[in-house]
Amino acid sequence: MAALELVAAVTKPHCAAEIQKISRAVTWLQIRSDLIGDIPAAWLRAHFPGKLLYTLRTFQAGGKFDRSVEERRSRLIAAAREYDLIELEFDSDMRDDFLSAIPAGKRMIVWHGAACDTTKLQFYFQQMIAASASYYCLISSASRSSDGLQPILFLKDLRRRDVVAFCDGPAGLWSRLLSPQFGSPLLFGQLDTSLRQSGEPNIEQLITDYGFPAIHPVQEIYGMVGNRIFQSPSPRLHNGAFRLLKHPGLFLPFHVEDFADFWQGMVESRRFEQLGTPIQGLVIVSPHKNAAAAVADENDLMVRKAEASNVFVHRERRWYAETTDPESISAIRHACPLNAAVIGCGGAGRAVAAALQQTGSKVTLVNRGLRRGEYAGNLLGLPFIPLPEFRAHGFDLIVNATPVGKENDEFPFVIDTLANGTLVVDLAYGARPTPLVSAVLARGGKAVDGYDVLLTQVRKQFQIMTGLEMPAVISRETVLPTSATSFVSPETVLATGGATEACEYSF
């Protein structure tokens, strides 16, 4: 398979030291001059050993350049004398008198448009190739995940090594990541890592989470389905395991607002089978766990009990729904039965409560919203307390099954009511320790954090979907920054009866 070249888009000013730190895996530096102004190529070449792409994108193409046509063309022509590649817009830059001023070998002709079928993509492409260029890019906007199928099918039929095609936007990210399997020679990512939540991939993710610029054989697709998934480390864990095991799988992020639409357009349509890369397994996250359980061909016992699934596996043309949420308490199962409170009555909370029920524990459900809390209580036959009335004292175990604390400084309950002897399991995780975990450890209490919960669940999900064991080297260090200090395992925390100095973080 031909080599892939990574393109790092520079969308904000960077100092020389930052440019020098760019991974040698990056071939191209794309200077978004419509966002940061012109940068002399000589200065860039003094700090970056690769090739340079100049972009002055207009509003019509999703950029910020709003000055005259004459100024734009003058700047493009000037850049062509210094840069290796110039981005030209199909809708405005195809005049012969302008093209003649830019050598064919330095042209990258780009079409931006609404999502469309392969027939229209082929129509636009035939017009684009009337002008010689090094690369042709067709980038359409995705409003739903299935929009991304069209550019991939287009690439599969085209079989050229000078064409890039994918859908942008959160719903289309998966198509960008899959496009190199079908011939795209370039893969674009942001140099800026702060855009991670937007669904715009950064170079660090492309290299670490997906193994680019290497293109590994892919025969099976796995993925995560949800609407807040771009900070999840699951792609890094699953894809790292695939590479270590030399298994031809790829784990992709599917941003989905409407699960029924996703299921019909991406799964039941069997278009991935047409591509030769069938979907074999899915991890389902909030808010789709309930909807997923309703469409499966067969649900396991715990899914039926909690009416929520977070793992789908395809076997013999049937979809089986399971849940790994009960694994959240695996590290403390031996300490059960306990007097436990589960905060959060969504799919994860219900599954954890059901698992605690099975251990003989006394379980109380807690939720902010009355409707969901009462529904969970009736479903599982458990007592329910509205969150404003909940106090933590008197419980041996508290499980936080809400996202509170993941991206803010809030607590899921009144922390002052928590006794030091109470064990806390926090399913939330983020770039820093959650306020709940930090507070518990600071006062000498016992806590199992979201990363340990995550790793336990991911290992189980990988085994369910592939039938393989995730390699042991996939660990906390695979997810956390290398600067993080060591972390005592949940088993050690329980055995020692509290936090130790090694439980401190340095994110």
Q: What is the 3-state secondary structure (H, E, C) of 41-81?
A: HHHHHHHCCCEEEEECCEHHHCCCECCCHHHHHHHHHHHHC
Torsion sign, CA atoms 425, 426, 432, 435: negative
Report the candidate in 27, 77, 32, 23 with the shortest Cα–Cα distance to residue 54. 32
- Residue 344 has a CB neighbour count (10 Å cut-off) of 27
Interval 471-493: pLDDT, tens: 999 988 887 654 333 333 444 44
Torsion sign, CA atoms 284, 294, 219, 159: negative
Per DSSP, the three-state class of 17 is helix
Interval 175-220: pLDDT, tens: 999 999 999 999 999 998 776 556 789 999 999 999 999 999 999 9
| Average pLDDT score over the chain | 91
pTM over 0.85: yes
- Residue 421 has a CB neighbour count (10 Å cut-off) of 11
Amino acid letter for position 74? S
Q: Is the pLDDT of residue 310 over 90?
A: yes
Could you tell me where the DSSP H helices lie in 337-496? Answer: 347-358, 370-380, 435-442, 450-466, 476-479, 490-496
Per DSSP, the three-state class of 403 is coil
Sorting pLDDT into bands at 50, 70 and 90, what band is 1? low
Domain extents for the chain? 5-214, 326-456+483-503
Q: Does residue 292 contact residue 259 with C-beta atoms inside 8 Å?
A: yes
Q: How far, in Å, CA of 246 to CA of 36, rounded?
A: 41
Q: Calculate the alpha carbon distances from 247 to 115, 177, 205, 311, 478 in Å.
A: 32, 18, 20, 19, 19
Place of tokens 């395992």: 489
Length of the chain: 507
Domain at 5-214: CATH code: 3.20.20.70
End-to-end CA distance of the chain: 39
Interval 318-337: pLDDT, tens: 999 999 999 999 989 999 99
> Is the bond preceding residue 383 a cis peptide, omega within 30 degrees?
no
H helix and E strand count, the chain? 20, 20
Interval 256-284: pLDDT, tens: 999 999 999 999 999 999 999 999 999 99
Q: For residues 34-59, give the mean pLDDT.
A: 97
Per DSSP, the three-state class of 120 is helix
Q: How far, in Å, CA of 412 to CA of 387, rounded?
A: 9
pLDDT value for 337 = 96
Interval 492-502: pLDDT, tens: 444 444 433 32
pLDDT value for 173 = 97
Q: For residues 376-386, give the mean pLDDT.
A: 97
pLDDT value for 431 = 74
DSSP 202: B
Sorting pLDDT into bands at 50, 70 and 90, what band is 381? very high
**Fold of domain 326-456+483-503:** Rossmann fold (3.40.50)
pLDDT value for 478 = 83
* Token pair for 331: 């590290």
Q: Is the pLDDT of residue 242 over 50?
A: yes
Q: For residues 160-168, give the mean pLDDT.
A: 97
pLDDT value for 144 = 96
Q: For residues 297-318, give the mean pLDDT.
A: 95
Q: Calculate the alpha carbon distances from 262 to 34, 256, 484 in Å.
A: 35, 7, 38
